[in-house]
Structure 1
């Protein structure tokens, strides 16, 4: 499959996270609520991609690429239709969640179809670049058309579905036995984990209990929804943990940036949003080249370099008040996360059996996407410690 089509298949997912950033006031007015209620759609989208990633990856492993493309495109279209036609908060939540399920399936499929480090790098870079430009793109589309049109931007990914179907030369995967209990346990675990930053006293213990239950079930059913060959692989889990940590740093800095620039430079949110395009676009574009070049470097060296870069970003942001150095910290965080998503994905799928590559990609992306729930919450905690 041609590389530009892979980028188009994956990249628009980031619009669902980033495009509403400057539109919350418009959404609140249209739905007759406040801005906090309007953010429910973004939260629902985050939950949908976190949950949809392993679910659609399992479908990919069991039914093949064409089945996932069909289901994902249908979910994406249905969710977008609800968002566009029904201007209410319940419809916003339901539509965003369904839209996210479809987006997650298309992104996992794009990573599965990437057959080289260069293509994986382009997929990771497309997600980062779309995320960087998403807020301004969403605002521009809303000015030209409406806020509903801006929320429909993830639908652009379906333009690549025909090319993805044509590029699938191998037959669909043979159906495998279904493990409903494993699927339910993972779904509940993801839901509890996403709620930890908001309801830690309830969601924290629930997450631990569900994790222990899932581990016990994997031992009973090693070939189930979460194969033991993947979930029990130490190197795979290390790659997932590293991706999660890099994502937390990146999203925390992204949400802390406006407050930092307002405090140290006196900039308003609009100016900050425009200026922040530079570090996040630079990180996104450079990540594509770095992922492609990573095959020439030992995996441990590459992983260590990513973690050092990721650790340097928040440290630099914490000790400096100079705007150029703050922007440098944002660049380091973006570069480490975007590059890490591609490099660590290659490493994670390279240490599991080839027959479980789809499940591995799903779990790896789940680990990375969970950082969306934690990074912003950490930023808010440090920005408003008495809140």
Structure 2
């Protein structure tokens, strides 16, 4: 029997996939529509970085912890600590049977040198998940196949990455990013400084014009009962929200965190200081960048109405976005008009650039984006002829 077990263990150790574990947590304070218990997810990934399987780990211990949490016999922090201990133990057990992702023998040497030089330092300073970080760099080297990173030409490396990633642009760019980090470190060679990234597919930007928004609002008022609740909002509050997103360019989390004290109604200036995440927790806006934005006169009334809405932290943003898309699909035939909440931010950019004649720099400032990001999304948008004529007349 002992011999059979050792053979079985040896076979398992030769597997070409890796299991990882992560925890899904409920919010600390109850939020309607969000999970109320902890769960541990096991994810299996092959050498190409493809997800083979994903499953929830179910044990009596996890079940008991969640029961005690719901019954308030256990605090959120204590439950979180116990769940993390279970996750760490699962990871330790799995490591004993963990397969090695196969790399070219010389590349394995370069990989280990790079990890020793760069990742060992990062491990102490910034990396939260050492195993995940190490697996990422390993997958980048696996993508090279039989090529030796030290001797292959730049064209050969880029061609091999594209071949390995089989048209998956996101994976290809992730692999290229990791290998560029290796090349910049000087561990392998110094004659190649940067590999070229695969071109991003052309972005399809969904938006509505000012007149189309008015048509959508009319459709909602005609077809949705006033008493209907949508993601925690009444119909009229829902309309105020989508009008606010359109006329302010706020992200949905920033709109949910909006409050009166940051609003100058006289100047129609709103100071974006915070956003709410999906768990209802307040944090800084994306990129930790606060900003000021100006609300057009035409949208000031809707924005003021939105600020009056209470319990915005309880709003289900996912439900709101799905419902908006449902109404758009029912009202508009053109797929470009089938919006999520974030697409209303693009609509605001369209309004500024095409209908108001704003510059890309001014639009970027109000959105809280860099000019480069705005140009990536909106470079093809130009002002309407009427707008150009108006600007021409005003500038004499």
What's the TM-score bracket when you normalise by the shorter of the two chains? under 0.3
Structure (1 or 2) with the greater strand fraction = 2
Structure (1 or 2) with the greater helix fraction = 1
Q: TM-score, normalised by structure 1?
A: 0.24
Q: TM-score, normalised by structure 2?
A: 0.23
Choose between structure 1 and 2 for higher RCO, CA contacts under 8 A separated by at least 6 residues.
1
